[in-house]
Amino acid sequence: MSLKIYNTLTRKKEKFIPLKEGEVGMYVCGPTVYNFIHIGNARPFIIFDIARRYLKFKGYKVKYIQNFTDIDDKMINNAQKLNVTVSELAKKFIKEYFIDADSLNIRRADIHPRATEHIKEIIELVKDLEEKGYAYEIDGDVFFDVSKFKSYGKLSGQDIEELKLGARVEIDERKKNAIDFALWKKAKSGEPSWESPWGKGRPGWHIECSAMSMKYLGKTLDIHAGGSDLIFPHHENEIAQSEASTNKPFVRYWMHNGYLCLNNQKMSKSLGNIMKVREIGQKYKGEVIRYFILSAHYRNPLNFSEDQLQQAQNSLQRLNNTIFNIKHQLTQGKFKESRDKDDEIILEKRKESRQQFIEAMDDDFNTPVALSQLFGFARELNIYLNSPGLKNKLVLEESYEFYKEFANEILGILKEVEPEESFELEIKNLIKEREEARKVKNWEKSDQIRDVLREKGVILEDTPEGIRWKKIK
RNA sequence: GGCGGCAUCGCCAAGUGGGAAGGCAGAGGACUGCAAAUCCUUCAUCCUCGGUUCGAAUCCGAGUGCCGCCUCCA
């Protein structure tokens, strides 16, 4: 079985073959740190976090890079508005980004490079492009000459001539072609700037990704990922800059996720129809948000609504119940040695679900189908767990392992429950009290205790093997 | 104007030539002192029209509706 990835460049699913056997270099376009991230920003971070985890599962050694854009117009404008320096603004929102990312179980990249910490590499690259004749300077600004790069438009399927006609860009009359883009921008007064061969200035937007990705991953990356809105012009321009400089393919597999919409419109800061991760997090756990994101294939559009989150929460609850129930049986401490037909069925079913989960993920990270395997196995397992008699320990452990590996390690949608000693003691005492009441069929008292515990966020479940309790929220 | 995407049960969502997955919600039932959890049963011929085919949600053509990129945007 082999992994297939949809490549935007070829518009086909392709077998994934990294440049170096067993190793993957992956770069994901990160946030511009001028504000809190919204759920639409979070989609690629979650999706590609999972792609990365899955690649690791497949045995690849993955080097994962996600940048922070910490210098551009939005940074400058927002810093002015808030009356802080650009660097202070960046510092704050990088911190906020990590708070949000952590809440969503998004693992840290191996490196989180920042544009302002790679000015030297950026200048080198621009200089190289200028020397090779792909770039030209006009009065402190440096532009990329698109007409010199023959395959411009190959990623987005755009034709240079059409682009020129349709250019909505403010035409800078000094540029050779309307669609030439800035590699280096001359400093305006009051803006942060760096010394360069062209005078004081700052990098253009596209150049940082080329410079930083190649610095950490080499001239050819295995995977470069981001939202579909980056295909043009951002990634198109990255290809032009990088390949013009190195004369080597810049990226083997381009991955782009579909938009997250609100009321069927793309969620974006400029439209103002955004839901910040921080806001949603007040009401829903990160695992729920992740589940919601995974419920659709990453390339399809996904519409955000509170109703959807509620559905995600309910769905996830079902999985959590099953996992909780396995754990409960495991802590009972009594098992049978033998393995009969029912045990074998579970082990067989586990094997099947495992295989199908992998098949789904191999098919361009088809998480909705992968999720369905978690549910399919849960049904079989619930039947087993509810059947009378002792259970086989190995079967329970293997089943638990299945969810730990797939739901937790790869998808990251499992909730970690941390015990609180004092709280548990109080609960245990109440449960004991209720058991006494139940023995003498004092239903009134036992129901009352159950209600009290519910108030405290504890659900009691009477099972043939004894009381099972769990915390909610 | 150029390029691209989407339309499948009340809601969400897979499936791209031969069984319409899965989840949520709903209905009925079982289990339970009552619950909870769980299980069982039930719940769609796939936007429209035409075509290709023994056979199409899936391919082709026309149409309708929605969305995106071409300007900052994940």
Structural domain boundaries of chain A? Answer: 4-303, 306-410, 421-471
Nucleotides of B under 7 A from a protein CB: 1-6, 11-15, 21-25, 32-40, 66-74
Give the pLDDT confidence of A240-298 residue by residue, as tens digits: 999 999 999 999 999 999 999 998 899 988 888 899 999 999 999 999 999 999 999 99
Is domain A306-410 classified as CATH 1.20.120.640?
Answer: yes
Query: What class has domain A4-303?
Result: alpha beta
CA–CA separation, A205 and A214 (whole Å)? 16
> How far apart are alpha carbons A399 and A345 in whole angstroms?
12
What is the model's pLDDT at position A161? 82
Token reading at A403: 């969810």
CA–CA distances in Å: residue A250 to residues A76, A82, A185, A226, A238: 30, 38, 24, 15, 8
Q: How far, in Å, is the CA of A264 from the C1' of nucleotide B62?
A: 27
Q: What is the 8-class DSSP label of residue A83?
A: T
Cα separation, A85 vs A346, in Å, equals 60
The nucleotide minimizing the C1' distance to residue A380's CA is B39
Give the single-character DSSP code of A158.
-
Judge residue A74's burial from the number of C-beta atoms within 10 Å of its C-beta, 0-12 exposed, 13-18 middle, 19 or more buried: middle
Nearest residue (CA) to C1' of B37: A461
Please report the pLDDT score of residue A36 as a whole number: 96
Q: Which residue minimizes Cα–C1' distance to B40?
A: A383
Q: Which residue, counting CA atoms, is nearest to the C1' of nucleotide B33?
A: A443
pLDDT at A167: 58
Give dist(CA A51, CA A408) in Å, integer: 14
Sites in chain A below the pLDDT cut of 50: none
Helix, strand counts (H, E) of chain A: 15, 17
Give A164 CA → B2 C1' in Å. Answer: 10
Specify the pLDDT at position A272. Answer: 83
Q: Distance in angstroms, CA of A232 to C1' of B2?
A: 14
| Span CA (A469) to C1' (B42), Å | 32
Which nucleotide lies at the shortest CA–C1' distance from A237?
B70
The backbone region for A335, taken as left when phi is positive above 0, alpha when psi lies in -120 to 50, beta otherwise, is beta
At residue A173, the pLDDT reads 77
* Phi, psi (rounded to 5 degrees) for A138: -135, 110
A53-86 tens-digit pLDDT: 999 999 999 999 999 999 999 999 999 999 999 9
Integer distance in angstroms from CA A287 to C1' B37?
21
Shortest CA–C1' contact from A303: which nucleotide?
Answer: B12
Distance of C1' in B74 from CA in A392, Å: 47
